[in-house]
Chain A
Amino acid sequence: MGNEDEASRNEVKATREASEWLLRLYVAGQTRNSVKAFGNLKRICEEHLEGKHRIELIDLLENPQLAKEHQILAIPTLVRKLPPPVKKIIGDLSKPERVLAGLDLLRTCNGFRKDDDEEEENRTERHCGGL
C-alpha cells in the first residue's frame, strides 16, 4: 500500500508539473449535459491549469466518424490527450474533485470511495425529484 501511495503521489506530481495540457471534450449537439460539462471544464482549467491548457471541442454530429476513430461512447466525454497517458472522464463534470482525480491533478485517497457513494445517492435523489 505504501508503495502504491508513493507512486500515485509521484504521478500526480509529474502531471502537475507538465507544461502542456490538451483536453478534448466530445459532445453531440448542444445538449444540457454538454453545455454543463463545457462550463465545468472551463472553470476547473482556469482554476488549476491557468495558461498551459488547450480545450478542443468536438461535436460528433458534425464528424460522426470520429466516434469510431476515437472510441467515444458516452456523451459528454473528456479526454486528456496531453500529458500522456490518455485519460477519459465521462459525464457533465459536475464534481470537481472527481474530475481533478481523473486528470491526476488530485491524489486519490481511501476516503474517496465513500464520497463517491454519497454522491451517487445524492444524484439519484436529485434525479427522482426532477421527475
Chain B
Amino acid sequence: MTTTQANRIQLALPKCPTGIQGLDEITHGGLPKGRPTLVCGSAGSGKTLLAMEFLVRGAQQYKESGVFVSFEESEKELMDNVISLGWDLKDLIDQKKLLIDQIYIEPSEIKETGEYDLEGLFVRLGHAIQSLNAKRVALDTLEALFGGFTNELIMRTELRRLFRWLKDKEVTAVITGEPGDGNLTRYGIEEYVSDCVIVVDHRVKEQIGTRRLRVVKYRGSTHGTNEYPFLIGEQGLSVLPITSLGLEYKVTTERVSTGISRLDTMLGGQGYYRGSSILASGTPGTGKSTLATSFVHAACQRGERCLYFALEEAKTQLIRNMRSIGIDLEPWVKSGLLRFHAERATSSGLEMYLITIRTLLDEFKPQIVVFDPMSNLISVGTGEEIKSVLARVIDYLKIKGITALFTNLTHAGGPLETTETAVSSLMDTWILLRDIESGGERNRGIYILKSRGMAHSNQIREFLLTDKGVDLLDVYLGPREVLTGTARATRVAEEKADRLRRQQEIERRQHELERKRAAMEAQVAALRAEFEAEEEEVEKILAEAKMREEVLEENQKRMGDMRKTDE
C-alpha cells in the first residue's frame, strides 16, 4: 500500500452518527467509529445526557445496541431522568438494545495494599458488550471511577489501557469526564488518548444561561471548531451550528398575498415573495401585530399552515384584540391551521428559544411564520448574537421555503431605522409603520422601505384599522405636507366645496351663454323676418313693375295696330 492510499483511508475515517440534532453536522458525520470520544464538562453541563442520547439514538435509529456504564447514578435514576424526553429506557433494555450497568464505588469500603489493576472492570464491560453485541459504549464519569482508588500511577496506566481496550473492542465509546484545574481533564492524559474530544459547558451571562459545546479535537477528520450553543430541549440535545448553513437555497417567484389588497398593490400588485423574510417595524401602536395577523388570516383562508410566535402577548389576548378589527383567528386555531407559541425569549435564553423555534418548525411544518415582536429577542442578547441567531433562523426558514414576517418594535422618538441596522440586511422586504402627528392627532402611516426583486410603491399610505379589517387610504399630498386623519378629511371636504363652487360657476356661465345664444337666435330670427318681409315687398314691387311694363307694351302694340304702322 502506498502512502497516498493510506492517507486516503485515513481521510475516509468511518464515522458513527450520534443522531443528536446538529452534532453530526459539526463533526461532519458523527463520532469516530470504533474509537473512544471524550466528553468533558463540569457538573450539570449535560454530558451524561449526551452520552445517554448517543446510546438511545443508536438503538432507536441506527440499530446499534449500547452499554451504559454508570459510576454515579443508578439504573432507575437514569431512567427517571430521561423519561421526560420521551425515552423509554426500560423498553430498550427489555428489547436488549440497551444495558445499564451501575458500578458502585465507595472509596471508604475499599482498602488498597500492593499492586492491582482494573481487570475486573474490563471483564465486566467485555461481558456486557458481548451479551448485547453492543457497538456503542458510554462510561459516565471517569472521575467517579478513578476517584474510588488512591493510587494515581495505577490509575493513569489503567486509563490508557481502558482507551486502548475500547479501541480493540471496536466499540464507539463516549467517555465523560470532568475538567481539571487549567486542564481539559483531571489527569491530563484523557484528551491525549481519545480520538475525539468534545467540551461542554454551561455559562451564565447576564442572568441567562447558555450551554455550549465545542469539538476540541478530532483525529483524522475536519470538524467545526466554533463553540456551538446547545440545548436540552423536550427531545433531547440539540446543537445549533452557527455557520454550518450556506446561502444556497431555492428561490421562487411565487407570491403570497399580504392579506391587505392595497398593500399587495403597493408590492408590485401581488404581495410578498414566498419564502422571503419580511420585517415590519414601527413604534408602539402602529399596527404591527395587525399587519401580521392580516397576513396570517389570509394565509389560513388559503389553507396554509401558520405558526405564530407571540413573544409579548398571550394567545387569547391576541385573538380577542384582533377580533375587534374583524379578524377572527379562533377558527384557524381550532382547525389546526394556526398555532400560537406564546413565550418570552427572556424566559429561556436566546439559544433555547432558537431550538424551540427549530423544533416547532420541524414539527408543525408551517408555510408562514410570524415573530411578533422580534425586538423581544433583541433585548436578550447583544447585537452580534442576535444577528447570528437571526441569520440562522432566516437561513433555516429559507431552506424550508417558509415565508416569515418579523415585527419589530422601535422606540418612539429615535430614528426609526437605527435599531434594525443589524438585522435589516437579512430581510427581503422592509415595511415601515409610523405614526404621523398633525393637527392634534396621531394617525398611522405605512410605506415600503425596501422590497428586493420587485417593483414597489414609494407612496405613503394611511393605515386604517376598521372593524372590517385593515384598509389603506391615499394620504393627502399637499404642496408641502402629508395630511392624514381629520386633517386629510378637512382638506378633502374643503376640496369638495371648492369643486362644488367651481362647478356652480361653470353652470352659471353655461346658462348665461345659453341665454345669450337664445337672445342671439331670437335676434337672428327677427332680422330674418324683417328681411323676408322686405324681400317679399321688393318682389311684389318687382312683379307690379313687370306687369305695368307688359301692360304698357300691350297698349303700345295695340295703338300701333290701330295706326297701321308698318314695322
Contact = CB atoms under 8 A, between A and B. Distances in A.
A127 B474 CA distance: 93
B123 interface: yes
Given A31-B119, A68-B101, A127-B153, A91 B114 contact: yes
A32 B115 CA distance: 10
Interface residues of B, number: 28
B116 A72 contact: no
B127 A102 contact: no
B120 A89 contact: no
A94 B115 CA distance: 8
Interface in B141-190: 145, 148-149, 151, 153
Contacts of A94: 113-115
A64 B121 CA distance: 10
A89 B113 contact: yes
Contact of B119 (A28, A37, A71): A28
A60 B114 contact: no
Interface residues of A, number: 38
Interface in A67-120: 67-68, 71-77, 87-95, 98-99, 101-102, 120
Nearest to A124: B153
B127 A71 contact: no
A67 B109 contact: no
A72 B547 CA distance: 167
Main secondary structure of the interface of A (DSSP, over half): mixed
Interface string B109-135: 111111111111111101110000000
Nearest to B104: A71
A93 B123 contact: no
Contacts, number: 106
A13 B119 CA distance: 35
B114 A77 contact: no
A36 interface: yes
A7 to B, nearest CB: 16
Nearest to B122: A28
Contacts of B128: 68
Contact of A92 (B104, B115, B145): B115
Contacts of B127: 64-65, 67-68
A26 interface: yes
A123 B152 CA distance: 12
B124 A73 contact: yes
Nearest to A77: B120
Interface in A37-76: 37, 40, 60-61, 64-65, 67-68, 71-76
23 contacts: A28-B120, A28-B122, A31-B117, A33-B114, A33-B116, A60-B120, A64-B124, A67-B124, A68-B127, A68-B128, A71-B103, A73-B121, A73-B145, A75-B119, A76-B116, A88-B111, A89-B110, A91-B114, A93-B113, A94-B114, A95-B113, A98-B112, A120-B151
Interface of B: 101, 103-105, 109-124, 126-128, 145, 148-149, 151, 153
Given A28-B122, A90-B112, 14 more contacts: A28-B120, A32-B115, A33-B117, A60-B120, A68-B127, A73-B148, A75-B117, A77-B116, A90-B113, A91-B112, A93-B113, A98-B111, A102-B111, A127-B153
